[in-house]
Amino acid sequence: MSSSDDLVADSIALDPNINDDTSDGESVRTSSTQSLSESIREYREIHGRTFSQKVEYWAPNDERQQDAQDFNHFWITEHLGNELYLAPIGDNPQRILDLGTGTGIWAIEMADKFPSAEVIGVDISPIQPGWVPTNCRFQIDDFEQEWTWPQDHFDFVHARNLEGCFTDLSKILKEIYDHTKPGGWFQIIEFDGQARAQAVELGEDHIFNRWWRWICEGLEKMGKSHSNVVSGRFKQGLLDVGYTELVERKWKIPIGTWPAKPELKRLGFCNREYVDMALEGFMLFILKDALGFTSAEVELIILEMRAALRDNSLAPFYNMNAIYARKPMEEEKKKD
């Protein structure tokens, strides 16, 4: 599947013959090639799911969530024309950093693509595979703490799916900028997080809108920012710290098989499977621990949300944004 202008259209043509989605999907795993030193795996179990022990983070790190992360990587990469990035980083980047690497699947594939590059993936959970390419390594750390790499170090800094992870957005953007090499690039891909309906106007009490209000309220109680990309805060923050040549791209991503075009129907199927796999992980900690919902209430909310996401008569979707920008060379700064 390749990315095209059709995927950013205001309205997606609906398949008139489609029913609600009931089929199941499969997740994707990637193999790797050299040993990673064993890390101490300290997890806490909450409501039957495992979470990072070290950092207050709302998403689980167990196998179910890892499968969802890998499947998410699969369909995003396919959506981007089987490309791992959009930024024009050239043919020979030497140092690449992946923030919030998760299972490490993106970092591993970048290491395979650029065998002469050093690729580092950073995450708070040691859930990466034990065998990785020789030029790829993982660092278990909280990227919101002070960075210890040399300044002007990375040719490319990559981030994806980090909404709700930042307590101080301006601080992390300054760290990213300071550690990007002059002439190097930063890229982030994010979803706006709010499910919407193309076919009907939803009331404030619809589960999509209630769910989004709960997520925002829960993240705020945890001291985490949200909606940074869709609100424009991320874009403005990159410009404020000094990035130039900023490009922003937006797509309407269908949830389900309601689109008429085959490539969008496949995209919607893959995306709906990802959301279905990850939904409980998205909601469990925020609803129960941050907002105080009971287990029974959370279960009913998840059931209602799943049913709505599979309702093709709504034509559900959310928006996905990509932003990439370049750090100017020293001589360019002097001209300004």
User: pLDDT by residue (tens digit) across 294-306?
Assistant: 989 989 999 999 9
Q: Give the model's pLDDT for residue 3.
A: 39
- Residue with more model confidence, 227 or 256: 256
Distance CA 292, CA 229 (A): 28
Q: Which domain holds residue 107?
A: 5-335
Distance CA 298, CA 287 (A): 7
Distance CA 227, CA 294 (A): 26
Residue 240 phi/psi, 5° resolution? -65, -35
Q: Give the model's pLDDT for residue 57.
A: 61
Confidence class for position 100, pLDDT limits 50, 70, 90: confident
Mean pLDDT confidence for 264-286: 87
DSSP-based three-state secondary structure for 41: coil
Residue 113 phi/psi, 5° resolution? -70, -35
Q: Give the model's pLDDT for residue 127.
A: 61
Q: Give the CATH number of the domain where residue 263 resides.
A: 3.40.50.150
Distance CA 19, CA 314 (A): 11
Domains identified in the chain, total number: 1
User: What does pLDDT average to over the chain?
Assistant: 83
Q: Give the model's pLDDT for residue 25.
A: 42
Are β-strands 118-123 and 136-140 bridged in parallel, bridged antiparallel, or unpaired? parallel
Which of 132-141, 168-177, 199-208 has the weakest average pLDDT?
132-141
From residue 63, how far is each of 50, 82, 91, 278, 317 by CA, in Å? 9, 25, 34, 11, 26
Instruction: State pLDDT tens for residues 9-44.
Output: 567 887 777 766 654 443 322 322 233 333 335 555
How many residues does the structure list for the chain? 336
Per DSSP, helices labelled H in the chain are 63-79, 105-113, 169-179, 207-221, 233-241, 262-285, 295-309, 330-335
Which two tokens mark 43? 């997890």
What phi-psi label fits residue 183: left (phi over 0), alpha (psi between -120 and 50 degrees) or beta? Answer: left
Q: Give the model's pLDDT for residue 70.
A: 84
Q: Give the model's pLDDT for residue 102.
A: 84
Q: What's the one-letter identity of residue 135? A: N
Confidence class for position 184, pLDDT limits 50, 70, 90: very high
Evaluate if pTM is beyond 0.95. no
